[in-house]
Amino acid sequence: MDLFYSSTRSSEVKVKASEAILKGLADDGGLFAPERIPAMDKSLKELAAMDYKQVAYEVMKLFLTDFTEEELRSCIDKAYDSKFDTDEIAPLVKADGAYYLELFHGATIAFKDMALSILPHLLTTSARKNNVKNDIVILTATSGDTGKAALAGFADVPGTKIIVFYPKNGVSPIQEKQMVTQKGDNTFVVGIKGNFDDAQTGVKNMFNNKELAQTLDAAGFQFSSANSINIGRLVPQIVYYVYAYTRLLGDGEIAADETINVVVPTGNFGNILAAYYAKNMGLPIGRLICASNENKVLYDFFESGTYDKNREFVLTTSPSMDILISSNLERLIYKIAGMDAKANKKFMDSLKTDGKYSITDDMKKELADFYGNYASEAETAGIIKAIYEDTGYVIDTHTAVAAKVYKKYVQDTKDTTKAVIASTASPFKFTRSVMDAIDKAKYDAMSDFELVDELSKIANVVVPQAIEDIRTAPVRHDRVCDKTEMEATVRDILGV
């Protein structure tokens, strides 16, 4: 049965999966959401006997119903190949009383690779299916990880260009070096004077600019998105929760149908939304533990039912979570509002005009599966040091936020259900913050790449190829613009 996608802001809009992937964002500014969450049609025992690619097909076919089996399997095969440094794609590591789902074994050593390795193939397949003749311009804002993963995915893909905006002083040195050294004649990277929310707002404004769309069309271009607002990013993320559960089952770590909890370090809300969708498909997930850093807008939302972005923006050591507008939360609001697009639009209009909205008591009851908490900068550093000293396992700053919040959850609830923690980036991506946490006095004077080698030694882990590649790579992108000049910059890049 075909699954259609509606805009979260208009019930009249109804498109096929390939159209939703191509557009990225609905014309009315809404996000595309599935009209229903499909149930899994294979048993967990059957899935436990499959490898990552096979599980990916079984999950994604239920959401991308207008793709043929051949098209979808081809996209999956091209995505999950030797770009990943392990055949498992997303291995589970048992440490410190939880199971860490390592989502950073792809080309850019962050979880964004899990979806952005496949999105270019989904997008180009969607373009063929819909007879698109224009070149597709991927327009993306990044808080650090999406940008590099998208650049790596789309580099030199025929019929595409990619333009990435990032906050010039809001990403780690390794993250910036990864982006500005990116190869590919179709890749463009721009630092903005502003924060991630400024970059994201600028990108959304360009998507909603009808005059700009007409100008681009006349020049043979059309926008699409690689941000987590694109349903082609969200669907592949559902896969790794199903895969993690079935690995635990296959390895005898859990019994058939045993419930697990899932802990996710959360900024834009896409990753934890994917876990929520997996639960709604029938995966035995109990609590969805939403971990925030000091930009705790989501923690406050789960506590109060009010989403309020009117607050100071904090630059932390977990920059991919330094976000005050969690775009993907809109899909959850739409669902708990009974898929009432008009009601959801009122909330989003209020967010735009007043910077906040409050959900109803009935909607709050729909959030019972979620638990929110946050970790301070000191707590984040403390848990990295404690886990390393206790177990020898080294985690990055984002994973550390999740690890600390998980400890708070157990303390608050006394719930000792087995838990999977989404480990969203390699510690090598945030080497200085990680090594400062372990022993600042000892490592403070070392250069970034000296720290890389020291981390490799103490963690007994080979330096990832993604880091080796940027040691001596020349800077290829040095554009910087004000947050008010983003559209002018895009016009200049495209020559329109």
Annotated active-site positions, please? 112
Three-state SS for the chain is CCCCEEECCEEEEEECHHHHHHHCCCCCCCCEEECCCCCCCCCHHHHHCCCHHHHHHHHHHHHCCCCCHHHHHHHHHHHCCCCCCCCCCCCEEEECCEEEEECCCCCCCECHHHHHCCHHHHHHHHHHHCCCCCEEEEEEECCCHHHHHHHHHHCCCCCEEEEEEEECCCCCHHHHHHHHCCCCCCEEEEEEECCHHHHHHHHHHHHCCHHHHHHHHHCCEEEECCCCCCHHHHHHHHHHHHHHHHHHHHCCCCCCCCCEEEEEECCCCHHHHHHHHHHHCCCCEEEEEEEECCCCHHHHHHHHCEEECCCCCCCCCCHHHCCCCCCCHHHHHHHHCCCCHHHHHHHHHHHHHHCEEECCHHHHHCCCCEEEEECCHHHHHHHHHHHHHHHCCCCCHHHHHHHHHHHHHHHHHCCCCCEEEEECECHHHHHHHHHHHHHHHHHCCCCHHHHHHHHHHHHCCCCCHHHHHHCCCCCCCCEEEEHHHHHHHHHHHHCC
